Structure 1
Amino acid sequence: MQINWFTVIAQLFNFILLVWLMKRFLYAPILAAIDEREKKIKAQLNDAKDQKAEAKKEQDEFSAKNADFDQHKKALMDAAIAETQTERQKLLDAARTDAETLRTKQARALEEMQASLQTDIAKKTQQAVFSITQKALVDLASVSLESQSVAVFIERLRHLKADEKQAFVDAFQADKKPVQIKSAFALSASQQTDVKAALTKLLGASADGAFTTDPALISGISLMANGYKLAWSVADYLTSLEKSISVPKSVAPKKESDTKKHAVN
C-alpha cells in the first residue's frame, strides 16, 4: 500500500491547527476560568478562615467577658446576701431588744399598778377601819369614860418628861394668858379643880384655866399655852396609828398653823 504523504501532512497540519485552536480558544479560557475559580474559592476559603478565626476570637472574648460577668454577678450576689443577712440580724436584734424593753416596761407598769392598787386597797381599808373605830368610840363615849380619861390625863401630866414639861412651862411664861383646857364633855367642878391642881404643879405656880368642850377629842383632854399643846385622847392613838401605817415616808405630814402639839403618852 502506497502512503499519500500529502494527505498525512495535511491531516497532521489540521490536527496541529485543531489543537492550537482548541488550546487558544477553548482550553485557555477554560483553564483561565478554572484558575480564576480556584483563586476565588481560595480567597473565599481564606476569608472564611479569617472569619472563623475572628469569630473564634470574638467567642473567646465573649466567653471571657461572660465569665467575668458571672464572677462579678456572683460577688455582687454574695455581698448582697451577706448585707441582707447582716441587716436581718440587726433588725432581729433591734426587735428583740425593743420587745425585751417593752416587756420590762409592761412588767414594771404592772408591778407599779399592782402596788398602787394594793396601796389604794390597804389605804381605803385602813381609812374604813379607823373611821368605823372612831365612830364606834364616839358612840361609846360617855361622862363616866370621860371622867376616867381626865384621871388618866392628870396621872400622865405628873410623869411628863423633863424636856416636855420645860417646853410647856416656857410657852406659858412667854404669854402668861389663861391656859386653854378642852375636853369632849363639860368637866364637873371637882374635875376642874383636879385639873387646875395638876396644872399648878406642872407650872410651879398658880395659873388660870379656860375650860371649853370639843367633841372631836373623843374621850380625852388637852392643854394649850401660847401655841404649845399637851393632849391625850383615844383619837390621838388612832391618828398616830393611822399615820404610822398609811402615810408613806415620802409624803410629809400636814403642818398645823404655828401650833405645837404634844401628845401625852
Structure 2
Amino acid sequence: MQINWFTVIAQILNFLVLVWLMKRYLYKPILDMIDAREKKIAGQLADAKATKSEAKAEQDEFNKKNRVFDQQKNALMDKAIAEVGVQSQKLLAEAKNNARALQDKLEKAAKDQQADVNHQREKETEKEVFAITKKVLADLADVDFEAQSVHTFIKRINGIKEAEKATFIKALHSASGPILVQSAFDLPEKQQAEIKSAVTKILGAQPSFEFKTAPGLIGGIELTTKGYTLGWSITAYVNSFEKSIGEAGKQIPVTGKKHHAIK
C-alpha cells in the first residue's frame, strides 16, 4: 500500500489549522472565562475571608463586652447583696429595738395596771375596814358610854387653848342662832345642863342651845356655831385616821411602785 503524501500533508495542515482555529476561537475564550471565573471566586473567597475576619473580630469584641458586662454585673450584684445584708442587719436591729421597747412598754403598762388594781383594792379594803370599824364601834356604844363621852367632851371644852378659845368665843358671839349640840343618843337634861354650864363659863353669858341626835357620831358629841365646830367622838378619830391614810396614799406614786397594804 502506497502512502499518499499529499493527503497526509493536507490532513496535517488541516489539523494544524484546526488546532490554531480552536486555540484562537475556542480555547482562549474558554481559558479567559475560566481565569475570570477563578479571579471572581478568589475575590469572593477573599471577601468571605475578610467578612469572616470582621465577624470574628466583632464576635471577639462582643465576647469581650459580655465578659466586662458579666464582671460589672457580678460586682453590682455583690455590692447589692452586701448593701442588702447591711440594710437587713440594720432593719433587724431596729426591729429588735422596737420589739424590746414595745415589750418594755407592755411590761410597764402591765405593772402600772397591776399597781392601779392593787391600789384600788387597797382603797376599797381601807373603806371596808373603816366602815366595819365604824359599825362595830356603833354597835358597842351604849348610854353609859355616851355619858362618859359627855364628860370627855366637857373636859375638851375646859381644856382648849387660848387661841382656840378666842376663836370659839368670837364664833359664839357672832352667831345669830342657837348653838347646835349633836350627839348619837338623846342627852339627859343633866348632861345638857353640864354642857351649857361649861360653854357659859367660857362665854361669860348664857347663849341659847339646840340639842339634836346624830346617829353618825359614834360615841361622841359635836358643838357647832357660825362655821366653828368643837367636838369629840370616835368617828372623828376614825375619819382623821382615814383621811391621813388617804393623803399618805396620794403621796405614794402609783406607777412602777408596789403599794404596801395596811396591816
TM-score (norm 1): 0.79
| Higher RCO (C-alpha under 8 Å, 6+ residues apart) | 2
Counterpart CA distance in 2 for 1:233 and 1:148 is 11
Amino acid aligned to 1:147:
A
CA offsets per residue over residues 52-88 of structure 1, 9 Å max, x none?
A: 1220232133224323432443354345435534553
More displaced stretch, 189-198 vs 64-73: 64-73
Within-5 A mapping of 1:186-197: 186-197=186-197
Amino acid aligned to 1:230:
L
More displaced stretch, 222-231 vs 159-168: 159-168
**Is the alpha carbon distance of 1:161 and 1:95 closer, same or farther for their aligned partners in structure 2, counting shifts above 3 Å?**
farther
CA offsets per residue over residues 5-29 of structure 1, 9 Å max, x none?
A: 9899768756754553453245424
- Say yes or no: does 1:114 pair with 2:114: yes
Pairwise CA distance, 1:143: 0.8
Amino acid aligned to 1:166:
A
Pairwise CA distance, 1:234: 0.5
Amino acid aligned to 1:212:
K
- 8 Å Cα contact 1:126/1:246 also seen in 2: no
Over the aligned positions, Cα root-mean-square deviation in angstroms equals 2.9
Aligned to 2:84: 84
**Is the alpha carbon distance of 1:83 and 1:133 closer, same or farther for their aligned partners in structure 2, counting shifts above 3 Å?**
same
CA offsets per residue over residues 208-248 of structure 1, 9 Å max, x none?
A: 32222212101000111112111211011111112222354
CA offsets per residue over residues 193-220 of structure 1, 9 Å max, x none?
A: 2222221233344433222221210100
Aligned to 1:32: 32
- Say yes or no: does 1:237 pair with 2:237: yes
CA offsets per residue over residues 167-208 of structure 1, 9 Å max, x none?
A: 222211222543211111122233222222221233344433
Counterpart CA distance in 2 for 1:174 and 1:192 is 22
Counterpart CA distance in 2 for 1:98 and 1:31 is 96
Can you give the 5+ residue segments of structure 1 that lack an aligned partner in the other structure?
251-265
- 8 Å Cα contact 1:178/1:208 also seen in 2: yes
Q: Which runs of 4+ in 1 moved over 6 A?
A: 4-12
Question: What is the number of equivalent residue pairs in this alignment?
Answer: 247
- Say yes or no: does 1:47 pair with 2:47: yes
CA offsets per residue over residues 108-138 of structure 1, 9 Å max, x none?
A: 2211211111112212221222111111111
Aligned to 2:164: 164
Aligned to 1:153: 153
- Say yes or no: does 1:223 pair with 2:232: no
Can you give the 5+ residue segments of structure 2 that lack an aligned partner in the other structure?
252-263
- Say yes or no: does 1:137 pair with 2:137: yes
**Is the alpha carbon distance of 1:93 and 1:209 closer, same or farther for their aligned partners in structure 2, counting shifts above 3 Å?**
same
